Amino acid sequence: MALYVHKYGGTSMGSTERIKNVAKRVAKWHDAGHQIVVVPSAMSGETNRLLGLAKEIMAQPDSRELDMLASTGEQVSVALLAMALQAIGKQSVSYAGWQVPIKTDSAFTKARIRSIDDAKVRKDLNAGKIVIITGFQGVDADGNITTLGRGGSDTSAVAVAAAIKAAECLIYTDVDGVYTTDPRVVSEARRLNTVTFEEMLEMASLGSKVLQIRSVEFAGNYKMPTRVLSSLTDPLMSLEEETKSGTLISFEEDTKMEQATITGIAFSRDEAKITVLGVPDRPGIAYQILGPIADANIEVDMIIQNQSVEGKTDFTFTVPRAEYAKAVEVLNASVKAHIGAASIVGDTKVSKVSVVGVGMRSHVGIASQMFRTLSEEGVNIQMISTSEIKISVLIDEKYMELAVRALHKAFDLESGK
């Protein structure tokens, strides 16, 4: 007998029929002798509906009240799932995050988990019950309900799994695992049996939408094996068949890194490039440019500072496309005149493409192969950034899908060799 945490996304909980299927799947694991904790999301579309109601009341709702409102979606899900399990003869109990409690800081709409008290959960599990806990939410030191931000149910599930020392956290979603790239772009994309925490973190940060990045960070920090698999399969299929159908995110030593130099190709369409032209090339100039951007809570990704010419340089960086206008406004208001920049220019029609793989540590020539492939396809590289296990390039967005397909083929990801 082992202890498992199941997480089900909004699509999996999208209707009463799907909730009944979730109950059948959970009951199957429980019947096999395992202890089960379930962390479901709100029903598909429910959070957007609730936030839409708030916007009908006022343009900028108070963040505390938004959390009060948004948290109700998951409460509906846990109650309905508990009822579905009870209807098929399973003892189950549902809890809101504050009842566990899952304690967070007070950053409403984007709270961070500080601790989880597992005493109540363990007592119920030892009594033979299936425990269902709301994802996406917790409670701060003052008793206020908080939410963890979009995708927070993944983070909740991994955090709960770590707190109760589960054998594994199973993330059920509408896809059957992690692929070498998006199958909608490359039809030959292949599902990976295993991927390391580091690779998954890079892929999540670079645009892969399978898992929320904070949940991958949590899993890696607490070394919690996490499996991504589909909730749309037959809920009564065997446990062995079910677990083989997904992707295990685990430790590097559990993967066969020597068999594949590159694990996958990630990409992000959500990019914008900003260049501050003609700035003085002096110590502190990068901080003077990026400090106000950070103060405005705008995330910066790729950065390049050009060679100095007659004491002047150009400084280029990327931001999320949705933050582009705000970033330019900040630069015009607090940077341009202050540092004496000649002008500020930008481009919102760019995309980022990355090759990712822990095998890069033990293989040379990855960058040259990537750049040669792009060159042969006539794709110009505007910016480059690297880490130990990834290389990212910024390119014109019209070439993004071409680049992804070419790189996927160049690194032979279809065959997995």
DSSP-derived secondary structure for 216-247: HHHHHHTT--EEEEESSS-TTS-HHHHHHTSE
Phi-psi region of 378 (alpha: psi -120 to 50; beta: other; left: phi over 0): left
Q: What is the pLDDT, as a whole number, of residue 258?
A: 44
Kindly give, in sequence order, each residue whose CB lies less than 8 Å from that of residue 391, ignoring residues fewer than 6 positions away. Answer: 354, 355, 360, 366, 367, 370, 384, 385
Burial of 310 (0-12, 13-18, 19+ CB in 10 A): exposed
Q: Which residues face 344 on adjacent strands?
A: 276
Q: Are 238 and 380 in contact (CB under 8 A)?
A: no
* pTM higher than the cut 0.85: no
Give dist(CA 152, CA 136) in Å, integer: 4
| Phi then psi dihedrals of residue 251, to 5 deg | -80, 155
Kindly give, in sequence order, each residue whose CB lies less than 8 Å from that of residue 239, ignoring residues fewer than 6 positions away. Answer: 28, 29, 32
Give dist(CA 80, CA 207) in Å, integer: 33
Q: Mind giving me the DSSP string for 9-48?
A: -TTTTSSHHHHHHHHHHHHHHHHTT-EEEEEEPPPTTHHH
Sketch out the chain's domains with CATH numbers: 3-252 (3.40.1160.10), 264-410 (3.30.2130.10)
Q: Are 203 and 178 in contact (CB under 8 A)?
A: yes
Give dist(CA 32, CA 239) in Å, integer: 9
Coil, helix or strand for 97?
helix
Q: What is the pLDDT, as a whole number, of residue 214?
A: 82
Structure tokens at 211: 């898992």
Where do we find the tokens 């940060």? 205
Q: What is the pLDDT, as a whole number, of residue 209?
A: 66
How many helices and strands (H and E) does the chain possess? Answer: 14, 18
| Phi then psi dihedrals of residue 243, to 5 deg | -65, -30
Give dist(CA 220, CA 391) in Å, integer: 21
Phi-psi region of 412 (alpha: psi -120 to 50; beta: other; left: phi over 0): left
Kindly give, in sequence order, each residue whose CB lies less than 8 Å from that of residue 353, ignoring residues fewer than 6 positions away. Answer: 265, 266, 267, 392, 393, 395, 400, 403, 404, 407
Give dist(CA 342, CA 211) in Å, integer: 42
E-strand spans in 130-281?
Answer: 130-133, 137-139, 145-147, 168-173, 194-196, 226-230, 247-250, 264-280
Q: What is the pLDDT, as a whole number, of residue 387?
A: 87
DSSP state of 258: G
pLDDT in tens, the chain (417 residues): 899 999 999 999 999 999 999 999 999 999 999 999 999 999 999 999 999 999 999 999 999 999 999 999 999 999 999 999 999 999 999 999 999 999 999 999 999 999 999 999 999 999 999 999 999 999 999 999 999 987 789 999 999 999 999 999 999 988 888 899 988 899 999 999 999 988 888 887 665 667 878 888 888 888 999 999 999 899 999 999 998 889 999 876 555 544 457 899 999 988 999 999 999 988 998 999 999 999 998 999 999 998 888 889 999 999 999 999 999 999 998 877 788 888 999 999 999 999 999 888 778 889 999 999 999 999 999 999 998 899 999 999 999 999 999 999 999 998 765
Q: What is the pLDDT, as a whole number, of residue 416?
A: 63
Give dist(CA 278, CA 263) in Å, integer: 40
Give dist(CA 169, CA 7) in Å, integer: 8
